[in-house]
Each structure stands twice: as C-alpha cells, then as structure tokens.
Amino acid sequence: METAMAPIMKNMPIPMGEDSELRRGPWTLEEDTLLTHYIARHGEGRWNMLAKCAGLKRTGKSCRLRWLNYLKPDIKRGNLTPQEQLLILELHSKWGNRWSKIAQHLPGRTDNEIKNYWRTRVQKQARLLNIESSSKRFLDAARCFWMPRLLQKLEQTSSTQSSVPCQLSDCTLPSLPTIPPPANKTTDTTQQSINPPDFINISDQTELPQHLTSPNVYSNQTLEQSYYNMDSTSTGNEMEGFSFASMSAVDSIEGSWIMSNEMTENLWNMDDIWQFRDLGEMDN
DNA sequence: AACTTCACCAACCGCCTCGTT
DNA sequence: CAACGAGGCGGTTGGTGAAGT
C-alpha cells in the first residue's frame, strides 16, 4: 500500500525499472539549474519528455510544479501586499477555492502560494472566530473587520512611505483619501474610524478593473472608487453581491471600526473576535 | 540552553479534463 | 466512441525555522 509506505519512501528514489529511478523531495541546485537552462533553450511544455531530455530524474509533473511555483522568472517573492490580500478575499468570495483562477489576477503569484495563504492565515482567523472560512458570516466579518484594516494599512503605508516603493513588492503604494466615518454609525472622535469598504464589484466577466489587476496603477482615484463603488442600480445600502442589510450581526457592533495601533499581520483584534463570536452565539 | 509548539510553504498525491489515437 | 496519456487543479503532507516556555 502506497500510503503505508509513504513515510518511509519520502525523499527516496522511486524504483522505476532496471536502470532508471525517479527522485522526489526537495529540489537541488543542480536540478534547478538543469531545468532552468533546458526551458531557456527549448521552452515549456511536454513535461514528461522535458524531464527526460533535461536529464532530470523527476516526473514531468514535478518539473512543471517546480518551474511554475518556484523557478519561473516572473514569480514574486515576499509577503502578499495588502492590495493582494484584499483581492484574494474578494475573488475567493466570488469563486471559492478556484486558486488558479484567483492567481490569474495576481501577477507573479502562484495558485499554490495563494492556497497556502488562505489555509494558514485566513482559515486561522476563521478558527478564532469559530466559524467556517467559507461561510457567509466569515465573509461578512472579513468585509467589516479585515478589509478596512487592509485599506487602512494601505493608507498608513502610503503616508509613511510616500512614493517609496513597497519593500516587499515592486508596487508603489498609493496615498488614500481620508475616509469619513459612516453616517449611520456612532463615531468616536478619540478613535480612528473607517467606513466598511465597498464590496469591490467583480462581475462574472473575466476581465477585472485595472486597478485590481495591476498594483502599479493603483491610483488614488481608482482606489477611492473601490471604496465607494456603489452599484448604480443599488438602493442606498446595497451593493452588487452584498447587502449591509443582511449583515445585522456585524452591523450592530458599535465601535467595531477601531483600528489597532499594533496592526501587523494579525488583522483582527481580539475585541473584534470576541464581539463577533458573542453575536454569533446570540444569533443561535 | 533545551525542548515544544506553531506557522509557513515546497512538494506530493489523486482526481479531473482534454486532446489524441 | 473508448482508451490512453499529459497536463492542470485542489487538497494534503511533512520539513524547517521561528517563537514561546
């Protein structure tokens, strides 16, 4: 049974015949070089044949994965930018676990990277909230707590690094307009308030607005439009694909727009989490 | 300093789709 | 039209380093 043998077989060559065997496990520098040089000369595709011709003792699948996820020259390194995180949240809300489809709209990011991000970061937050990451409640929470923080993060970054390229990506972060507090919310002048972001419209069409697909052209205007991108056909507090009216639990949280000064990677603060959990229990 | 726990991510696995024969 | 193989995709695993005790 392969599954029973797996732990033993890990990182060991797979016997394939009398004179050939396949390697598995981490790639060596030599293998990377072989693969890179071969693709530079002959291009991608026909991965099984490529593996053989390049002299690699790997499966075609393994070569393809290594190339697409690691060796390809346009792969971006470093943490996902707030823009990219926002986009992932939005696209996942629309398409679910269609990682490759989501990755198509994040240049330089791989489906594997996005999938890992979702599983390690997003699902962790969902666990803290004690709700399913795929549920509507989590999506509501993300929109109301997480997205404002990401947007605020953008704003803070841009104000401290004005026109200085983002350290972890090639993009230049925009400066944002001051966001007025929501008219229907209690505003606390001692606290920094922020409007819940509009749900960036992503229609069924494959093409996305340029400001979402290309961080380099993330202009003030387009970002502002993203904030207030009310569907022209919607009424008052409704947006395409999303209605604040359906968000009673979250909507009623007073002071939930407080921004944490220690807003680092943890994009919820514990108050948010407990408030959201309490409200969820009240609902039940 | 030693040990444990946690988070991240590269890599693998199995299933599915599509093109070719 | 069925069989087959290659490539693509999403789910899962396990190694490794960082953080915590």
A111-161 tens-digit pLDDT: 888 888 888 888 777 776 677 666 677 777 777 767 776 677 666 666 654
Gap between the Cα atoms of A40 and A151, Å rounded:
40
For position A134, what pLDDT does the model report? 66
For position A276, what pLDDT does the model report? 58
**Does residue A94 approach strand C to less than 7 Å at its CB?**
no
Nucleotides of C under 7 A from a protein CB: 5-16
Integer-rounded Cα Rg, in Å, for chain A is 23
**Does residue A43 approach strand C to less than 7 Å at its CB?**
no
pLDDT mean across residues, chain A: 58
For position A77, what pLDDT does the model report? 76
Residues 64-83 of A with CB under 7 A from strand C: 64
The SS3 assignment for A172 reads strand
Separation between the CA of A191 and the C1’ of C9 (whole angstroms): 45
Provide the residue ranges of all domains of chain A, joining segments of one domain with +: 20-71, 82-283
Please measure the distance between the N-terminal and C-terminal CA atoms of chain A and give it in whole angstroms.
45
**Does residue A185 approach strand C to less than 7 Å at its CB?**
no
Q: What does A2-32 look like in DSSP terms, one character per residue?
A: HHHHHHHHTTSPEE-SSS-EE--SSPPHHHH
Look up residue A275 and give its amino acid. Answer: Q
The answer, yes or no, to whether residue A104 has pLDDT greater than 50, is yes
**Does residue A112 approach strand B to less than 7 Å at its CB?**
yes
Gap between the Cα atoms of A116 and A121, Å rounded:
8
Query: How many Cα atoms within 13 Å fall on the side-chain side of residue A73?
Result: 6
So what's the architecture of A20-71 in CATH?
A: Orthogonal Bundle (1.10)
Split at pLDDT 50, 70, 90, the class of A264 is very low
Gap between the Cα atoms of A36 and A123, Å rounded:
34
How far is residue A158 from each of residues A39, A163, A176, A191, A209, measured CA to CA in Å? 39, 7, 8, 20, 21
How far is residue A240 from each of residues A90, A133, A235, measured CA to CA in Å? 13, 21, 10
CA angle A131, A132, A138 (to 5 degrees): 70
For position A188, what pLDDT does the model report? 34
Gap between the Cα atoms of A139 and A130, Å rounded:
13
| Sequence-separated (6 or more) residues with CB below 8 Å from residue A7 | none
The answer, yes or no, to whether residue A236 has pLDDT greater than 70, is no
A31-63 as b/e, with b when 16 or more CB fall inside 10 Å?
beebbbebbeeeeeeebeebbeebebbbbbebb
Positive or negative torsion for Cα A92, A97, A263, A155 = negative
Listed residue (A195, A179, A208, A181) closest to A90, CA to CA = A208
| Sequence-separated (6 or more) residues with CB below 8 Å from residue A113 | A69, A80, A103
- A276's tokens: 């959201």
- A188's tokens: 């606390």
The answer, yes or no, to whether residue A26 has pLDDT greater than 80, is yes
**Does residue A11 approach strand B to less than 7 Å at its CB?**
no
A44 and A67 in contact (C-beta within 8 Å)?
Answer: yes
Look up residue A8 and give its amino acid. Answer: I
A188-227 tens-digit pLDDT: 333 333 333 333 343 434 344 343 433 333 333 333 333 3
Gap between the Cα atoms of A68 and A39, Å rounded:
12
